[in-house]
A and B are shown apart, each in its own frame.
Chain A
Amino acid sequence: MTHSSLLSYAIWVPIIGGLLVLAVGDRRAEAARWLALVASLAAFAVTIPLFTGFDTHTAAMQYSERVAWIPSLNIFYHLGIDGISLWFILLTSFLTVLVVISSWKNVQERVAQFMAAFLIMEGLMIGVFCALDAILFYVFWEAMLIPMFLIIGVWGGPRRVYATIKFFLYTFLGSVLMLVALLYLYFHSGDSFSLLEFQKTPLGMSAQTLIFLAFFFAFAVKIPMWPVHTWLPDAHVEAPTGGSVILAAVMLKMGAYGFLRLSLPIVPDASHRLAWLMIVLSLIAIIYVALVAIVQEDMKKLIAYSSIAHMGFVTLGFFVFNSVAIEGGIIQMLSHGFVSAAMFLCVGVLYDRMHTRNIKDYGGVANVMPVFAALMMLFAMGNVGLPGTSGFVGEFMVVLGTYQVNPWLAILAATSLITGAGYTLWLFKRVIFGSVVQPEVARLKDLDGREVLVLGTLAAFTLLLGLWPAPFLDIVHSSVQHLVTQVSLSKIPA
């Protein structure tokens, strides 16, 4: 292919950009900001040809690159994407631009380091979405934790140390098990680390089950699924706004992506065998976690719990194994990327002005910030899953697909229609509506142009994905069809 190094650009442009920003240094904060903006725009620009040149008719890996890396161990620098990865690469590069813009003023300390961390993290996360070599995948997977660890640990809130350690240990312990599973697969696939090779390797049921569980711990922690979810509210509460945005919008998707790229095609029989477990945990996330969200008193915690509930739809969709539900899960991931990012940015807008996340400290914000209130209403509706917004599409498709398997699953999942409206609208009422009681609220200034730009862009995508999801689904269609076939074929040696 002619543009075969596009993926490398997508990974390395932001990383090199990040290093350059570091070189500018914290002293020249304004220069660092502008350079970070330019770098993030350049990084976004190099991902656009991935979309425009994408062939939607094939499920094969596109834009492949394969260079020997550690030849003695058969490790390759092997990149390639299909329809499942494409949107997440674009989401990552797009959101990094927004994060840079939104952090323009509210980060004043160590500006260069802050911006550099996000740019480097962007490259590493894109690396996860296009790595086709197990070791490369693992390296990106672990490496991206470090910038996030620093972002929360350095620019975070008062309990940042507890939150970072919890976050790091949780995700790290999960990944170690994944490494063991990858090594096992290496020995059983004829000394190859190729993920595509792994997908063809026959495996017995007990080996598959163990591998599935090892993957499960790595991915379930990231998504996060109940009961390994408690690190997320803590991490969100302590993270700076930009950190929360990337954490919710991209990093949580890593786990779900892992299930699609590794678990389902590599161990299909175990996936079927343990589907009940995944479904039960997903439904717990949808029902139990949504109820927990209702009673939260901290805005960020509430949105964090709502994230977990929304991700429950993703995993539920994946493990009923039909294309409507899986595509619904993917669209839900993408929509959550827009909506949760926007919700965290909205909280950030308020936090920048009031320095509190307590719902009680607000009330009547609509009186002084009408533009903000209108935009946040749109995102709240996205969170509620109102038709016409992106939030509806994924949930609708998952409910449709799940009903095919068992009506009861669809009925339980659809309770989110009620609980989601409950926690979102109640939050909105307490923060935005009402008359102004706190004198601090009375002094609030409405959004400035920069904030309108960031939130307005996200609003446009939330509506676009809701009103016309067809182009988004066209990209994933062939790859999901292929995946559904892969999962339906047994890999147990005859």
Chain B
Amino acid sequence: MWVFDWLNAFPPLAVYLVIPVAPLVGALVAGFWGWKLREHAHWAPIIGVAIAFYLSLAVLWQTGHGVAFYGDVYTWAVLGHLPVSVGFDIDSLTALMLVVVTFVSLSVHLYTVGYMHGDPGYARFFSYIALFTFSMIMLVMSNNFLQLFFGWEAVGLVSYLLIGFWFQRESANVAAIKAFIVNRVGDFGFLIGIAAVYHYFGSLDYRTVFAAVPQVTGQMLEIIPGHPVSVLTWIALLLFVGAMGKSAQVPLHVWLPESMEGPTPISALIHAATMVTAGIFMVARMSPIFEQSATALSVVLIIGAVTAFFMGLVGLVQNDIKRIIAYSTISQLGYMTAALGASAFSAAIFHLMTHAFFKALLFLAAGSVIHAMSNEQDIRKMGGLRKVMPITYVTFLIGSLSLSGIPPFAGFFSKDLIIEAVGLSTLPGAGWAEWMLVAGAFVTALYTFRMFFLVFHGAPRMDAHTRAHLHESPWVITVPLIALAIPAVYAGWAYIGPVGLGHFLDSSLVVAPQWNTIGEIRAHWQGAGAFVLHSLETVPFWLALLGMAVAAWFYWLRPGLPATLTRFLSPVIWALQRKYGFDAFNQTVLVRGVLQLGALFWHVGDERLIDGIMVNGTAREIGKAALSWRRVQTGYIYHYAFAMIIGLILLMSYFVVWRG
């Protein structure tokens, strides 16, 4: 395309290098000179990310025309005899991720100008989100496991910094630490997985590793003696532990709801659209490994489906608008994970993409609501905002319809494709998984429209002061909403062919013939229109409509009903409100257990046993011994003379008797 032609004058590597470096420079400028730039601190990050977005579009356009790149930038280190480099793998999957990441990032940057206006940490915030964009770009562009892990942990760091952005708040600090440590539990598995890759493949480079998969297939190992497992299953499961942490899959999901302590723009950027999808991206990237292990795929499928259904249920009882969307994010990530398990990698990436648009949209619209509500986040205290905030209302409705999977909005296509693919899967547990995902369609529509009706319809329930200040948000906030609403509408039918069915992604993904679910759907494909018509005869569509209807009935038309119903369902609600007890278990058993163990090791192990008995005890004993020995040193010459004579006699008798 003519707008990208001038880039051909430069070596490709230089162009690719600018993509991560431009946001990094923006981050450094905002970080180092933010105190001077103050309210102008956003320019460098925005320009940096805009450059990255433009170049990402160029890369997408190029890969669409068959251009690919695989090469190194510099050698990070030589490990033993193995050089490990920082390098790029530019293919269709990377290009697609780049565009999604930089597009959402740019929208969020613009939105932040309005949302964070006047915050004392304005420059710091921009520095962080530009740094995040850099890290995420490094992650998706990587051509090796080391750089992947670098990006992986770097986005975790920025997430930690941003959740705790308002560092005066105790709750934000606790949430930040929780996010970091739970992610580290995942990274722990991930790191061991990388060590296993290094051990069995002798390389950390994607191409070398993927090319060697046939040689490793069939190799077994015994982690627990007597229980052989296939090497590839072991590696795939370890890598998936990493994905579970980052993509918030049960039981490592506990950090994501709490991450809502951070400012809303980052909830949209990091904890909905991009970072949390890193796990999905990683598994898709590793498809050559996962496809060789039915066990691993089965685990991925079940974990995904369980997360999708059960975390959606928790979303039903939340009252904080951001937490509802957070549980919805966990649930939608579950859908993507389930798709990975069903080998429908392209469907997972497709849902990742549509979700990035409609979920970022929902979060930013929620932020607009929170802004108008003077920082109130409880939906029970909202209501009737439809009239005051028309743009927010319409865009939020588009996001909600998309999330609920109503045709022709984007979310419908990606979600329905996932359910179809899982339905075709022959893996153990696929039947259960399909039912959970289908039932999840009802749950999703119910919690989404519960929130929607409570916020925008019905009688206003806020106090008079807040009500007097209600207003539609300024253009810096509404323009990104509109920008994101556009793909939330059309991205589904427009891209289901190239992305969802994988025509565009084929070169990046490996699918084994025995579970080629997407291939089957492709074989019967008759176009997006037929897909919609077909869905009208299937259960998920009607369940989604039912969910919307129930939400409308309960929370708009008959607001008294939920209270009556709560009484009948109290045990279920009790469990849901406690989020199945994950937090309680972690707090009382794990956190307290670790602290008590640490105190035990310190006070008993170090202080009493080692210092008390070994060190000071030895000192005491030596002291006592010295006291008794001191009696020998009487100071009288005849005592010493006597001792010398006795010694002499003993020595002489030794020589005479034994040697003589």
Contacts and interface: CB of A to CB of B under 8 A. Distances in A.
A433 B78 contact: no
A166 interface: yes
B192 A294 contact: no
B78 A477 contact: yes
Interface in B549-571: none
Interface stretch (A127-135, A184-192, A341-349, A414-422): A414-422
A434 B149 contact: no
B151 to A, nearest CB: 8
Contacts of A432: 167
Given A322-B80, A386-B153, A435-B168, A227 B195 contact: no
A470 B75 CA distance: 7
A435 B168 CA distance: 4
A292 B601 contact: yes
Nearest to B81: A323
Interface stretch (B183-191, B403-411, B533-541): B183-191
Interface string B399-430: 00000000000000000000000000000000
Interface string A384-411: 0011100011001101111110011011
A415 B188 contact: yes
Interface stretch (B105-113, B278-286, B523-531, B610-618): B610-618
Interface residues on A, range: 35 or more
Contacts of B606: 230, 292
A468 B76 CA distance: 5
Contact of B77 (A393, A399, A403): A393
Interface in A412-471: 414-415, 417-419, 421-422, 425-426, 429, 432-435, 467-470
Interface stretch (B47-55, B56-64, B592-600, B649-657): B592-600
Interface string A361-396: 000101100000010010001000011100011001
A386 B75 CA distance: 19
Contacts of A396: 146, 191
B34 to A, nearest CB: 10
Contacts of A421: 180-181, 184
Contacts of B201: none
B602 interface: yes
Contacts of A410: 192, 195
B21 interface: no
Q: Is the interface of A mostly helix, strand, loop or mixed?
A: helix
Nearest to A420: B184
A295 B188 contact: no
Which 8 A-B pairs rank lowest in CB-CB distance, beginning with the nearest?
A: A403-B195, A291-B598, A387-B150, A295-B598, A435-B168, A433-B167, A469-B77, A324-B80
Given A396-B146, A425-B177, 20 more contacts: A230-B615, A288-B605, A295-B599, A295-B602, A327-B79, A388-B154, A399-B195, A402-B195, A403-B198, A408-B223, A414-B188, A414-B191, A414-B192, A417-B187, A417-B191, A419-B594, A429-B164, A470-B77, A470-B78, A473-B77
Interface of A: 166, 170, 227, 230, 288-289, 291-296, 322-324, 327, 364, 366-367, 374, 377, 381, 386-388, 392-393, 396-397, 399-404, 407-408, 410-411, 414-415, 417-419, 421-422, 425-426, 429, 432-435, 467-470, 473-474, 477
Interface of B: 31, 74-80, 146, 149-150, 153-154, 157, 160-161, 164, 167-168, 170, 173-174, 176-177, 180-181, 184-185, 187-188, 191-192, 194-196, 198-199, 221, 223, 594-595, 597-599, 601-602, 605-606, 610-611, 614-615
23 contacts: A230-B610, A291-B597, A292-B605, A294-B595, A295-B595, A295-B602, A377-B161, A381-B157, A387-B153, A388-B150, A400-B194, A404-B199, A407-B192, A407-B196, A407-B223, A422-B594, A425-B177, A429-B174, A434-B170, A470-B77, A470-B78, A473-B77, A473-B78
